Amino acid sequence: MSAFLALVTAAFRREAEHRSRILMRILGGLVEILARISIWKAAFGGHGTLSGISLDEMITYSLIGGTILSSWDATMIVRDVGATIRTGAIGSSLLRPMHYPVMLLAEQIGVRLFDWLLISLPVIVIMGSIYGLQPPESLAHALLFVGYVVVSLAILMGFAILVGLLSFWVFDAHALEWFMRGLLAVLSGGLVPIWFYPQGLAEVAHALPFSWIAYHPLAAYLGQRDLTEELLILAAGAGWAAVLAFAVAFVWSRACAQVVVQGG
Amino acid sequence: MTAIIRAEHVAKIFRQQVRRSGMLGPLKDFVMPVTRPVNAVDGISFDIEPGEAVGYLGPNGAGKSTMIKMLTGILAPSAGTVSVLGRNPQAQRVLNARQIGVVFGQRTQLWWELPLIESFELHRRMYRVPASVYQRNRADLVEMMELSAFIERPVRHLSLGQRMRAEIAMALMHDPKILFLDEPTIGLDVVAKDVVRKFLSRINRERGTTIILTTHDLQDIEEICPRLIMVDDGKLLFDGTIAALRVTFGARRRLTLEFAQDPGHVELDRAEPAGGEGVQRLFLLPDDQRPLLHILSALKAGADLRDVRLHEPGIEEIIRTHYQSKVSA
């Protein structure tokens, strides 16, 4: 565990080395949130509610869904794993007395924590003070939301690592990255809440684990369901996280036999 | 003593895709890829005892790195078995990793963006080194490798020589029983090479760490490794001491004699004349351990000897001779 935490901290500190990048990413985040809010304002077009959702709630959804719960940057794992394999740097990771997926997870959590603290938080504070951020429905919903964020992170990381490990077979990680990015943009509900989806697509999204990445946590935050239902859905999300963890362990054991370390 | 490393009939075959030419080539390659086998390692066996320092030598593409990768558990052999500290290094990679140290000259194991000292800290946690052991080792290694001047600096700002010293220090931080080094002196200047070599032979002597080192710099081997394993084309060519190598490959010491005036015919017992005329004569000496004085005593009493030079063939010369004879054969 101490090694895991040390890796999380190291990844966090490594991110902090790129100071100029932080500013650019905050600016990018502001522009993205502005675009999302503008789209929702246009969509509501003066109506008070759409399908029982108010514009203020949608602004809050955009603010959190476009920052803390965004799956966009997580796809970078796929690129990183791909590059590690293509250049043969995977050899160095394999020499360490830790399992590679665990090391990846620790590093990505470090990166994620950094992003939350230094990019998401400023963006939420700035845009929230302009457009207004709704508080969670109740204290219980707030606590559930925290639980959901943990599950969201676990599912996102589990899936990203799983796809990343596929680079052992598919040498073109770029294709995998875009596949994952497109899939998550639609199925996580980060961009558009699933309650606006046509029925067929909504059913597909509900049947897959990706809706726990953004949609379910936000629905809980906004108090769309009662607490018992929330708890059950949260437990289902934790189950999905466990399934992904098993899948990663299985694929990794296969990948180990497959390893070809490139270069001298 | 039982072997700490054992390789038995080890082979590693890579499948290399054959690229077809023409406009349709890439399409054919995609639909029905054709591969051909490349025997990177081809039936190699050896045993290494604890405390040995072994040089693993061969030209580029001889399969040196592949063998190291199999011994460190990051590649599985296609055939045969390797055993390191009694384990299968690939099946028990994590356990194996705790007890070995590895340095790849061409890749870094340090954390590029972080200060060097933080790489050491991370290493300590990953390898679960007890605090007291870590403090002692770090103090020792920082002093021996002279790292204190740049230990707070991010690794990406270090020179290659500084980085390599740091890599080796880190690989020893957890008291590994075996240290694998793949081309540790590649790209280093003469001074840095010398520091690394002296350090490695000291670690081997004082700590009893078993060292396996691949290189194509023969001086590395002369200074660090009493034993030499030579490979080419994936096959074992030679395994033994440097002295035995000289005998096997027929390299002889060369004696140059310089006289004040032309001594006429000169004959030395069991030495083969190898040219020279006038005041300078050359001889090739057999490897029979005879003292030089004994050989020279065969000179005629009146010979006015001015200078004697004895040239020991380096392994480089021995191996060059070997490869040249192979090419011409």
Residue A161's nearest CA partner among A214, A91, A112, A92 is A112
The pLDDT value recorded for residue A24 is 92
Extents of the domains making up chain A: 2-258
Cα separation, A129 vs A59, whole angstroms: 12
Cα torsion through A192, A198, A201, A202, rounded to 10: 70
Strand partners, B239: B229
* pLDDT at B282 exceeding the cut of 90: no
The pLDDT value recorded for residue A264 is 46
CA nearest to B74 within chain A: A94
**Tens digit of each residue's pLDDT (9 = 90 or more) over A116-128:** 999 999 999 999 9
**Tens digit of each residue's pLDDT (9 = 90 or more) over A184-195:** 888 998 888 998
Enumerate the residues of chain A whose CB falls inside 8 A of the CB of residue B76: 257, 259
Indicate yes or no: CB of A14 within 8 angstroms of CB of B97.
no
The pLDDT value recorded for residue A262 is 57
Indicate yes or no: CB of B98 within 8 angstroms of CB of A10.
no
The complex's ipTM works out to 0.82
Q: Does domain B5-247 have CATH number 3.40.50.300?
A: yes
Nearest to A14 among B14, B106, B113 (CB): B113
Enumerate the residues of chain A whose CB falls inside 8 A of the CB of residue B102: 95
Strand partners, B255: B283, B310
Indicate yes or no: CB of B73 within 8 angstroms of CB of A94.
yes
Enumerate the residues of chain A whose CB falls inside 8 A of the CB of residue B106: 263-264
Q: Is the dihedral of CA A209, A211, A214, A220 positive or negative?
A: negative
Nearest to B114 among A10, A97, A259 (CB): A10
**Tens digit of each residue's pLDDT (9 = 90 or more) over A193-221:** 998 899 999 999 989 999 999 999 999 99
**Tens digit of each residue's pLDDT (9 = 90 or more) over A144-195:** 999 999 999 999 999 999 988 888 777 677 788 888 888 888 899 888 899 8
Cβ count within 10 A of residue A207: 10
Q: Which one of A2, A5, A7, A95 makes the best mutation probe of the B interface by having the most chain B beta carbons within 10 Å? A: A95
Extents of the domains making up chain B: 5-247, 252-312
Indicate yes or no: CB of B126 within 8 angstroms of CB of A98.
yes
Stretch B167-174: mean pLDDT: 94
**Tens digit of each residue's pLDDT (9 = 90 or more) over B129-158:** 999 999 999 999 999 889 999 999 999 999
For chain A, say whether B104 makes contact (Cβ under 8 Å): yes
